[in-house]
Amino acid sequence: MDIPSGLDGVHGRPWPVAVTARATVTFEAAKTGLVTGEAAPYVGRLLVREIGIPRAVRERHACRAGRITPRILGALGPVSPTLHKGSAGRVVVVGGSRGLTGAPLLAGLGALRAGSGLVSVACPGAVEVSLKAGFPDVMTMPIGSGNHFCAADAPAVRDFAAGAGAVALGPGLGRHDDTAGFLDAVLPLPCPVILDADALYFLAISPELTGRIGPDAIMTPHPGEAARLLGTDIAGIEADRPAAARELAARFGCVAVLKGPATVVATPDGLVAVSPVIAPNLAVGGSGDVLSGLAGSLAARGLSPLLAASLAVYWHGRAGELLAAAYPARGNLASEIANILPQALTE
């Protein structure tokens, strides 16, 4: 009842041990610590039950954190029978460099499997052939003639992204010195931007880019990237994941997705949404690239940044849970996370 004895109600850590419950019945609202990844083995099935707190009291103390539930899938709405590829959303992935052509392909595949009608990868010209060979369903646009992007490539990328519903920026971008100049020249973009991977690296070392990513942006760091962005270490991020997500969102002025078990989504004004999903099958290289493409697909449909990010996190998590049935000891590929996305909606 209330919380497993010994479990911290804020951070979800045992101090130093805690009761391992099969179910926890908590009252009126779940404590933050009950929904963290670290708390899951102790909480078991979480049940929230009313205890009679008056509505007036609840209205005076508005909720600032919530758990993502399956009802969020209702935001997708029905598929129009007159839908065509031009009206199903256009997503552009900007990334790729020598040796890093898989990441933008996985992001593109995530957007396609989420239902986008047109998905293209804008990539450096010298890597286009190897990138295109990886997956013919994703269109490519070679920019320039180099192995990685530089500032001179920015105008062509901006022109190609014109009219896109969303841009996923960063998968496989690389960390070359002149790529920082590319980001400086290509931002801002006139549509929602999903910032991932190497775009986050350059954002951390070039904080002047912060004011140019726009309020409709979504950033998707894992704990290591979050630590670099906030000038701390991974232990500091993991010590209070909701607080870290809130700080990321406030500092960079956009929706922040702090990836990991029980992924946390936060807005600049301090709202937090926590995923109920803990899926070890998502812990594979390329999983985050699929998520960035998925988020881009949802943003291209006109969903708000908070809704697009939260829905992407939940949908991606359900795909990971389904893969556990076929791969109980893990071993699945990132591409299989993308490929099972349509099925995850029907389960």
Encode pLDDT of 192-251 as tens digits: 999 999 999 999 999 899 999 999 999 999 999 999 999 999 999 999 999 999 999 999
* Cα gap 78→194, rounded to integer Å: 25
136 cis-preceded (ω within 30 degrees of 0): no
Distance between CA 145 and CA 323 in Å, rounded? Answer: 39
- For 139, list phi and psi in degrees, rounded to 5: -75, 155
CATH code that applies to domain 72-346? 3.40.1190.20
Cα–Cα distance for residue pair 95/103, rounded to 1 Å = 8
User: What is the reported pLDDT for 91?
Assistant: 98
Please give the model's pTM, rounded to 2 decimal places. 0.95
What does the pLDDT look like over 140-185, one tens digit per residue? Answer: 999 999 999 999 999 999 999 999 999 999 999 999 999 999 999 9
What pLDDT does 77 receive? Answer: 87
Is residue 63 scored above 90 in pLDDT? no
**Mean of per-residue pLDDT scores for the chain:** 95
Predicted confidence at residue 88, as pLDDT, reads 87
Q: What is the pLDDT of residues 30-52, one digit of tens each?
A: 999 999 999 999 999 999 999 99
* Structure tokens given for 219: 């950033």
CA 6, CA 326: separation in Å to the nearest integer? Answer: 36
> How far are the Cα atoms of 14, 48, 49, 241, 343 from residue 29, in angstroms, in the given order?
20, 6, 8, 19, 32
* Closest to 271 measured CA to CA, from 65, 58, 67, 62: 65
Q: pLDDT at position 34, please?
A: 95
* Domain boundaries of the chain, sorted by first residue: 1-63, 72-346
